[in-house]
Amino acid sequence: MSKQFDVVVIGGGPGGYIAAIRAAQLGFNTACIDEWKNDKGGPAPGGTCTNVGCIPSKALLQSSEHFDHANHHFAEHGISTGTVKMDVAKMVARKDTVVKQNNDGILYLFKKNKVSFFHGRGSFVAAKDGLYEVKVAGAAEEVLTAKHVIIATGSNARQLPGAAFDEENILSNDGALRIGAVPKKLGVIGSGVIGLEMGSVWRRLGSEVTVLEGLPTFLGAVDEGVAKEAFKCFTKQGLKIELGVKISDVKSTKKGVTVSYANAKGEAQELAVDKLIVSIGRVPNTIGLNTEAVGLQLDERGAIVVNADCQTNLPNVWAVGDVVRGPMLAHKAEEEGVAVAERIAGQHGHVNFNTIPWVIYTSPEIAWVGRTEQQLKADGVAYKAGQFPFLANGRARALGDTTGFVKFLADAKTDEILGVHIIGPMASELISEAVVAMEFKASAEDIARICHAHPSLSEATKEAALAVDKRTLNF
């Protein structure tokens, strides 16, 4: 006997679990299937984000930042500590506790919202009479039936050809978050978000970190001014970043890993490291979903094909998050999950792709929303730019962190904000104001006229908005 539901969600990451909660809130009898196992074999919902992504990486970034502050910044505040030691095992155990708190939190939310949770792999069996049969292969096998299915099966790390992840020497994000001792030398392939965040963690803890990037430009998707400042900061901190490389071979032995590559000049080089993190992007995951049973359409990258409303080629089958087009971000997955549940309920769920913020949690943090200066130029948009440095912000001086700036880009005629780019302290929090402003189609002048608390980092945002009209007050 199959169990009947209105909505079955496959995948319990940020896309899936949020979709399930919203569907249940809207009155649907909802199930969520997730196969992630904790180290005891029990359920660990939350997906990549909770288990091997956003949450554990930020836990390690925080620990390593404390260590870095104690080593390099306490003295300027008059605090002397003697030699500071890092217990890596304890740091990793703390990270695991933070992950478990989040897993447990999601199980609690399922109960609270009356979402039926199934631990195991979900796969399509068949479509019959307007209903879908989905099998759960877990401790026991069960079949669920529902009119609506939301697929939120996420993504996996992309492997470099000839360098399979062994999670001992050649590490994906998973192994990179479980390194047990500070490697003397750490190699990173790919200077994207994971490479920079994880490279920063281990650099702060004392590793000699070399990042090898295939493209000739650094952080190509980031505003050029910000990317330039970031490159300067990271290299000053000690990250070695080589751009324009071509990897030819990766050899893993008991001792470590040797990467052979040609540098930007085409010269043959070799890099010997104790561990190698490969962070060259992620691929959509539909493994084991048995899409063939129902004829679900995938594109050439393996992503589920969806329209702007997250509808697949099958009636009442939806897909959200990393498994579909668009940026691979937890908050994008969540927004799509909510919107789909609302569309199933006949409401007008909406995701504004133009106002999805990006954050890179390095130090300094990098955050942006909207278009970059190079995109505006390419699109032929007439714009005005305004920039304000944290060096001229009182709170940043008091914090002892004056790196970076806030940059506004506004339409030359209407003054509407087209993009905001921040590099500096708490950029991850500051960007929210810009997102709200852009959602409400605010002009730079709107922000410039709003009272911001003093002393606060957000005054740099106000000043950058004033700078659009060339009338900063404190610079």
Task: Tell me the catalytic residues.
Answer: 454
Residue 137 CB, nearest approach to ligand FAD (Å): 8
* From candidates 144, 289, 319, 420, binder to ligand FAD by CB under 6 A: 289
Q: Could you say which residues in the range 36-55 bind ligand FAD, by CB under 6 A? A: 36, 47-49, 53-54
Residue type, 240: K
Q: Could you say which residues in the range 183-212 bind ligand FAD, by CB under 6 A? A: 194
User: Tokens 């999805």 sit at which residue?
Assistant: 356
Question: Of 269-277, 293-301, 325-333, 458-466, which part binds ligand FAD (CB under 6 A)?
Answer: 325-333
Alpha-carbon distance 42 to 309, whole Å? 34
Three-state secondary-structure class, residue 467: helix
* From candidates 152, 189, 226, 250, binder to ligand FAD by CB under 6 A: 152
Task: Kindly state whether residue 13 participates in binding ligand FAD, applying the rule CB under 6 A.
Answer: yes
User: Tokens 């030699």 sit at which residue?
Assistant: 83
Peptide bond into 455 cis (omega under 30): yes
Task: Kindly state whether residue 367 participates in binding ligand FAD, applying the rule CB under 6 A.
Answer: no
* From candidates 30, 64, 102, 153, binder to ligand FAD by CB under 6 A: 153
Question: Of 68-76, 78-86, 102-110, 119-127, which part binds ligand FAD (CB under 6 A)?
Answer: 119-127
Phi, psi of 43 (to 5 degrees): -70, 145
Which does residue 257 bind out of ligand FAD, ligand NAI, none, counting CB within 5 to 8 angstroms by kind?
none
Which does residue 191 bind out of ligand FAD, ligand NAI, none, counting CB within 5 to 8 angstroms by kind?
ligand NAI
| Helix, strand, coil fractions of the chain, as percent rounded to 5 | 35, 30, 40
Which does residue 34 bind out of ligand NAI, ligand FAD, none, counting CB within 5 to 8 angstroms by kind?
ligand FAD
Decide if 239 contacts 209 (C-beta within 8 A): yes
Task: Kindly state whether residue 335 participates in binding ligand FAD, applying the rule CB under 6 A.
Answer: no
Which does residue 35 bind out of ligand NAI, ligand FAD, none, counting CB within 5 to 8 angstroms by kind?
ligand FAD
User: Tokens 């133009």 sit at which residue?
Assistant: 354
Which does residue 321 bind out of ligand NAI, ligand FAD, none, counting CB within 5 to 8 angstroms by kind?
ligand FAD
Could you give the dihedral angle defined by the CA atoms of residues 162, 163, 166 and 172, in that order, rounded to the nearest 10 degrees? -140
Which does residue 419 bind out of ligand FAD, ligand NAI, none, counting CB within 5 to 8 angstroms by kind?
none
Q: What is the 3-state secondary structure (H, E, C) of 344-402?
A: HCCCCCCCCHHHCCEEECCCCEEEEEECCHHHHHHCCCCEEEEEEEHHHCHHHHHHCCC
Residue 421 CB, nearest approach to ligand FAD (Å): 17
358-360 β-sheet, strand order: 358-360, 365-370, 417-424, 405-411, 383-389
Decide if 284 contacts 323 (C-beta within 8 A): yes
Residue 160 CB, nearest approach to ligand NAI (Å): 6
Question: Of 31-39, 259-267, 419-427, 439-447, which part binds ligand FAD (CB under 6 A)?
Answer: 31-39
246-252 β-sheet, strand order: 246-252, 257-262, 268-273
Which does residue 61 bind out of ligand NAI, ligand FAD, none, counting CB within 5 to 8 angstroms by kind?
none
- Give me the residues that bind ligand NAI (CB under 6 A), please: 160, 189-195, 197, 212-215, 247, 279-282, 327-329, 359-361
Query: Which C-beta is closer to ligand NAI: that of 123 or that of 279?
Result: 279
Q: What are the helix (H) ranges across 118-239?
A: 173-176, 193-204, 224-237
Burial of 141 (0-12, 13-18, 19+ CB in 10 A): exposed
Residue 281 CB, nearest approach to ligand NAI (Å): 4
Alpha-carbon distance 353 to 332, whole Å? 8
* From candidates 31, 35, 192, 363, binder to ligand FAD by CB under 6 A: 35
Question: Could you tell me the end-to-end alpha-carbon distance of the chain, in angstroms, rounded to an integer?
Answer: 71
Task: Kindly state whether residue 306 participates in binding ligand FAD, applying the rule CB under 6 A.
Answer: no
Each residue 398-437 as x (binds ligand FAD by CB under 6 A) or -, in order, gives ----------------------------------------
Residues that bind ligand FAD (CB under 6 A): 10-16, 33-36, 47-49, 53-54, 57, 121-123, 152-155, 173, 194, 285, 288-289, 321-323, 328-331, 333
